A = this chain, B = another copy of it.
Amino acid sequence: MMRAAVIGATGYAGAETVRILADHPEVSLSMLTSRQYAGKPFSSVYPALTGHVDLVCEAYDPKRVADAADVVFMALPHKLPMELVPELLEKGKKVVDLSADFRFRSVEAYERHYQPHTARDLLDRAVYGLSEVYGDAVRGADLVGNPGCYPTCILLPLIPLVKAGLVDRRSLVSDAKSGVSGAGRSPAVGILYSEVTESFKAYKVTAHRHNPEIDEVLSRAAGEPVHLTFVPHLVPMSRGMLATTYAALTGGADEGKIRDCLSDAYADAPFVRLCDRDRLPETRHVRSTNYCDIGFRVDAAAGRLVLISAIDNLVKGAAGQAVQNMNLMMGCAETAGLRRVPFPV
């Protein structure tokens, strides 16, 4: 059994990582840290897990973490991981970081949108953990920058089409919708129940930090600079994310070619489900799973593709993909711990 630690275990992404690892056949959860709940049983913060996780949250201590764990999941806000990860790597640990700190190759891009980077030399060593696309690199990595939820949802359907030249790279628009858990568990007026229920809004329009992340990865796929117009929205639901991505078809592209391209790209991907023609993704179909469901339609009159993709933002958009990456890094089956049967409703 591998021993795993979750740093920042009481935020939503951390807790979901704990949930998955507690069911993982090759992992023993050995340490949970939480600044806010240090000294308290994890199950007192998340009583649902009473009887399943008996660990007490601890304050972060690099030595203790290194002693206790073979692989470390960092589920902290950005800025903290880049300070803590170098020491863990030195001690020979494998690290999956769920923050933005190791997602960028371009220091400039990171620093423009976040803050000065204090572990720049690790950016080349880190692998961007979009498992289906960069899985080979993840297998050999000791540091994975786990992708953002929006980038995961938008990039999975888009990258194969961009690579194949089936869509016009200057025409890309993604209108994305997320459940509220994506905003985390720190109290703020904007995510109170009474402020969210029965309402819908856009936020950070053309100003969300996942936009440069998407652009960098798309540009790498395209081999030239690509910019996608990105507008996130907040849905009155806890979990789930759906992106509706619009792109002009290039000459010769049609429904059949789009389907073939996506079908080929993900023929062997256990967590991508390309919907048949009679179905489109809905967030409830992927809720609590590591799937990315993909569907599409063509607006022939406009020569435009409408791509629809759905994930659970806390699973494939965070904790699930993190465990999928760990599986790849550690030589487990890619699906280990991630194939529970989804709920019908």
Residues of A within 8 A of B (CB): 12, 15-16, 18-20, 22-23, 44, 46-53, 170, 173, 175, 177, 179-181, 185, 187-189, 191-203, 205-207, 227, 229, 231, 233, 235-240, 242, 244, 246, 273, 275, 278-289, 297-299, 301-302, 304, 306, 308, 310, 314, 340-345
Chain B residue numbers with a CB within 8 Å of A299 are: 206, 229
Judge whether A192 and B187 touch: CB under 8 Å: yes
Q: Known: A238-B193, A246-B173. Contact between A48 and B229, CB under 8 A?
A: no
Judge whether B23 and A341 touch: CB under 8 Å: yes
Write the chain B residue with the least CB distance to A234.
Answer: B282
Judge whether A343 and B48 touch: CB under 8 Å: yes
Interface centre among A188, A195, A235 (most CB of B within 10 A): A195
Chain B residue numbers with a CB within 8 Å of A46 are: 344-345
Q: CA of A124 to CA of B136 in the docked complex: distance in angstroms? A: 62
Q: CA of A282 to CA of B47 in the docked complex: distance in angstroms? A: 9
Judge whether A235 and B200 touch: CB under 8 Å: yes
Chain B residue numbers with a CB within 8 Å of A206 are: 297-299, 306
A254 → chain B closest CB, angstroms: 14
Judge whether A16 and B344 touch: CB under 8 Å: yes
Q: CA of A282 to CA of B199 in the docked complex: distance in angstroms? A: 7
Judge whether A173 and B342 touch: CB under 8 Å: no
Q: Known: A47-B279, A189-B187, A340-B340. Contact between A237 and B202, CB under 8 A?
A: no
Q: Known: A233-B177, A273-B50, A345-B195. Contact between A205 and B297, CB under 8 A?
A: yes
Give which listed residue, B192, B197, B207, B340, contacts A237 with CB less than 8 A: B197
A91 → chain B closest CB, angstroms: 29
Chain B residue numbers with a CB within 8 Å of A231 are: 244, 306
Judge whether B244 and A200 touch: CB under 8 Å: no
Q: CA of A153 to CA of B112 in the docked complex: distance in angstroms? A: 36
Judge whether B233 and A198 touch: CB under 8 Å: no
Judge whether B345 and A181 touch: CB under 8 Å: yes
6 contacts between A and B (CB under 8 A): A193-B196, A199-B240, A200-B242, A200-B282, A200-B283, A201-B283
Chain B residue numbers with a CB within 8 Å of A302 are: 170, 227, 229
